[in-house]
Homo-oligomer: A and B are copies of this chain.
């Protein structure tokens, strides 16, 4: 069985090693001998031992001996086109591309079905964590009603540095970029788009309806100040960047945002590039899955696992079915998830609010659980309040972006 690999960057070279160089136990595990025969990459100086390196996609797509395409180029538009082309050419596809899967899951699943081929994307969420397979396995009998996850290694790495090592945001980001956890342009990580894509993939599978990442309300980890970190710590919490979706009577809410997590909560112990994904099921209660959310060998292992599943299915003249997205699910992202809130408002810059001003405005929408001033800021913990109401309040306050920060408390 011949395989074509599109893109031999970090993960691609891990996959190449594990499949072709017997770095893993690949050849023992698959009853049909398989190897990567052709590799697509713009950089033709790269080394691909015993395989053909090309910068021409046709050389792979027109090769009838290639039955599986592994798409690991990253980006969105070009890889989307290649995956479509592969499926239309009746080649099975394995990808780690969350942008493509997040945006085109339904269309690509349909295309795979129509062409009687398999499309797998274990590595698109949670890096080395076998979460897609676990989720597909669970939903057959265990109805998932909530997903919570630390899904983005970059923001988690930065928060770990900022909170644990008291490194400021800029230097934490630089360190993440130096190690290779953050991209040169880290916007999609920092603002929550990357986590939203992964949440959309998991939620679409869990709830049986395609949910688009672009619709998910997202807030990133910018605007967290040293005051926040100190105060939140003093209150017994830590900050995590959380992706969460809740399905209540077929009405789904989703959000990606910084949240406060109690220090005795498992989520507070997930550091650096590690991910944690929690599924709440009506039969099992909470199930959690932990592992490296990024990294060459771990992510490559997830890709290889998909390849082995495809080979195994073919060996049994079987096709792993694509998911169905036919459930009657509606979304209500505007209302958001109810919870207690932490709010910091700086007073020494804008000086627009006194303690009593702020209390008056706040008490219109919620009870105040705790309020105090510290280093030119007013710090507030509210009682439970609807997200939409809280956000309305923030709008009403009309503060400059760098003079406040708020986060829901994960209870």
Contacts and interface: CB of A to CB of B under 8 A. Distances in A.
Contacts of A281: 301
Interface stretch (A176-184, A194-202, A264-272): A264-272
Contacts of A269: 264-266, 269
Interface string A257-290: 0000000111001100000000001111111111
A24 B301 CA distance: 33
A308 B140 contact: yes
B285 A292 contact: yes
A300 B292 CA distance: 30
Given A269-B265, A290-B266, A318-B318, A285 B141 contact: no
Interface string A310-348: 000000111000000000000000000000000000000
Given A142-B24, A291-B285, A133 B137 contact: yes
Contact of A24 (B283, B304, B318): B283
Contacts of A290: 266, 286-290
A285 B128 contact: yes
A225 interface: no
A241 to B, nearest CB: 18
18 contacts: A18-B283, A24-B283, A29-B140, A128-B285, A128-B287, A129-B287, A130-B138, A137-B305, A140-B305, A141-B305, A264-B269, A265-B269, A283-B297, A283-B298, A284-B292, A284-B301, A285-B297, A289-B289
Given A24-B283, A134-B130, A283-B128, A141 B29 contact: yes
Given A130-B134, A269-B269, A283-B298, 18 more contacts: A24-B283, A25-B143, A128-B284, A128-B287, A129-B287, A130-B287, A264-B269, A265-B269, A281-B301, A284-B291, A284-B298, A284-B301, A286-B290, A288-B289, A288-B290, A289-B289, A289-B290, A316-B316
A279 to B, nearest CB: 9
A26 interface: yes
B298 A285 contact: yes
Interface in A124-147: 128-130, 133-134, 137-138, 140-143
A141 B285 CA distance: 30
A283 B301 CA distance: 6
A181 B402 CA distance: 51
A266 B271 CA distance: 10
For the complex formed by this chain, how many copies does it contain in all? Answer: 2
Interface of A: 18, 24-26, 29, 128-130, 133-134, 137-138, 140-143, 264-266, 269-270, 281-292, 295, 297-298, 300-301, 304-305, 308, 316-318
Contacts of A286: 290-292
Most buried by B among A18, A142, A297, A317: A142
A221 to B, nearest CB: 21
A285 B290 CA distance: 11
A163 to B, nearest CB: 12
Contacts of A298: 283-285
A297 to B, nearest CB: 5
B291 A287 contact: yes
Contacts of A265: 269
Nearest to A295: B285
Contacts of A284: 128, 291-292, 297-298, 301
A181 B300 CA distance: 40
Nearest to A133: B137
Contacts of A301: 138, 141-142, 281, 283-284
Contacts of A138: 130, 301, 305
Contacts of A266: 266, 269-270, 290
A94 B290 CA distance: 27
Nearest to A292: B285
Contact of A141 (B18, B137, B140): B18
Nearest to A285: B292
